[in-house]
Amino acid sequence: MNALKKPKKDENVAQAGEGCCGGPAPEGVAACCVKDAEAKAIGEEGCGCGTAPVQASTPPSACCAPPPKDPPLSEERKPCWSPASDFKPRATRVSSDLTLSDRLKHLRCRLGAYRMSYSVAPGLYAVGEPTKTSDVFVSANYGMSFDHLRKALKGTDSWILVLDTKGINVWCAAGKGTFGTAELVERMNSVRLAETVSHRRIILPQLGAPGVAAHAVKEKTGFRVYYGPVRAEEIKQYVEAGYKATKEMRTVGFSFSDRLVLTPMEINPAIKIYLLYALAILIIFGLSPSGISFREAFTNGLPFLILGLAAIFSGALFTPLFLGHIPFRAFSVKGLLTGLVSTLIVSRPLGIASMSPLLQGAVFLFFPALSSYIAVQFTGSTVFTGLSGVKRELKYAIPAYMAAAALTLLLVGAYKLKEWGLA
């Protein structure tokens, strides 16, 4: 597909029959066009075309008067629909093919901080050769949201309206309200959507619904909001079915691969903190009354460095991946279980069983709790955890984590005192 093809001439010229000023009137309203309907709604005469005869004394209003026969049409005296037909939509053309570079950007988004800077400019975009009757799809200005949409629209002639969501995806932006009624209405006005298309329907991603009140949009713009399917790749099916989504298209899935792609963002932050943890472990085990011994630090500290990694992977990778198979509903309990199992498995070859009981106690207290704490963070990435549930489990989990951390410090402290012969 040629992304930079020139628009066909006159494709966007309004047809008088479609409604002369601002598009056709809303259904069920006795008016010829949107301007007429608006005028009538506030008790004015309206522009007069298409409905009851205009009073003879009223001079034809500028908007919808029939084109005068004499003098002949000139640039100055155009027929009533001229204001709309003069309007050329200002849209940026985009391809619906994703390049290798686009895909690399997606990978970088999945892995780290690049996600915070991958955004597109808000405004109107054109896929294919959209006309006045083409559908309008709304997206967030996070690059990945926009890319998924334009790819899904391959082979269609469509408009894409990109809202300013500060580079955040649809779901999160809707939760915060940046993908919201106010921004949508403002953006529709600033790109002059009512003049760009002659119909009055706008298709939003279903996951934008927490931020947008469809009835308020209708009231403010005359456009009816249609919520499309959850997944962009089902958009064509949705349109072909007459703007109807099946129940399956309306519900969010959370498959193994859906969860897998989210895990790097669980592991990465934990690894950053792990470096601090590693430093602390080396200091604790290297510290002796005569100073710091690097050999002691490394040989005695190594098992705990490995246990720490195991806890991170059990909380940030295994718990998310096998979420549905791990017993109990609370994520803190799931993470505690995987943490216990991973600690048991790893501690055997590390010879933890032959260590001081004080250290053994600390190991089986601290690492499962760490895994649990990391697992709880995944509630932010799932598609089925609600605020009330997270609050409920944290009410118990947070005090438990604090107790586990305090006890661990006590046990390790007691162990060191004993080692130094002070207790």
Partner 1 sequence: MKYLLNVTTLTHSPDKCTGCARCAEVCPRGVFEINAKKARITDKDLCMECGACAKNCAFGAITVNAGVGCASAVINGMLSGAEPSCDCGNDTGACC
Q: Does 172 bind partner 1 (CB under 8 A)?
A: yes
Q: Does 405 bind partner 1 (CB under 8 A)?
A: no
Question: Least distance to partner 1 from the beta carbon of 139, Å?
Answer: 17
- Secondary structure (DSSP) of 86-138: H-----EEE-SSPPHHHHHHHHHHHHSGGGGT-B--SEEEEESS--TTS-EEE
Among 54, 65, 98, 214, binds partner 1 (CB under 8 A): 214
Phi–psi pair at 127, nearest 5 degrees: -110, 130
Among 157, 164, 258, 393, binds partner 1 (CB under 8 A): 393
Question: Least distance to partner 1 from the beta carbon of 369, Å?
Answer: 14
Question: Least distance to partner 1 from the beta carbon of 388, Å?
Answer: 4
Q: Does 210 bind partner 1 (CB under 8 A)?
A: yes
**Three-state secondary-structure class, residue 55:** coil
> How many helices and strands in the chain, by DSSP H and E?
17, 8
Q: Which is nearer to partner 1, 318 or 415 (CB)?
A: 318
Q: Where are the beta strands (DSSP E) in 179-320?
A: 201-204, 224-227, 287-288, 291-292
Q: Does 254 bind partner 1 (CB under 8 A)?
A: yes
Q: Which two structure tokens, joined as six digits, stand for 390? A: 């997270």
Report the distance separating Cα 322 and Cα 315, nearest Å.
11
Pick from 374, 365, 375: which is nearest to 407 by CA?
A: 365
* Site size toward partner 1, by CB under 8 A: 55
Q: Which is nearer to partner 1, 181 or 347 (CB)?
A: 181
Q: Does 327 bind partner 1 (CB under 8 A)?
A: no
Q: Does 260 bind partner 1 (CB under 8 A)?
A: no
Q: Which is nearer to partner 1, 298 or 396 (CB)?
A: 396
Among 247, 294, 295, 354, binds partner 1 (CB under 8 A): 247
Q: Which is nearer to partner 1, 73 or 113 (CB)?
A: 113
Among 7, 50, 389, 413, binds partner 1 (CB under 8 A): 389
Q: Does 171 bind partner 1 (CB under 8 A)?
A: yes
Q: Buried b / exposed e across 83-113, counting CB within 10 Å, b at 16+?
A: bbbeeebebebbbbeeeeebeebbeebbeee
Question: Least distance to partner 1 from the beta carbon of 153, Å?
Answer: 21
C-alpha count within 13 angstroms, C-beta hemisphere, residue 22: 19
Interface of this chain with partner 1, residues 4 to 33, rule: CB under 8 A: none
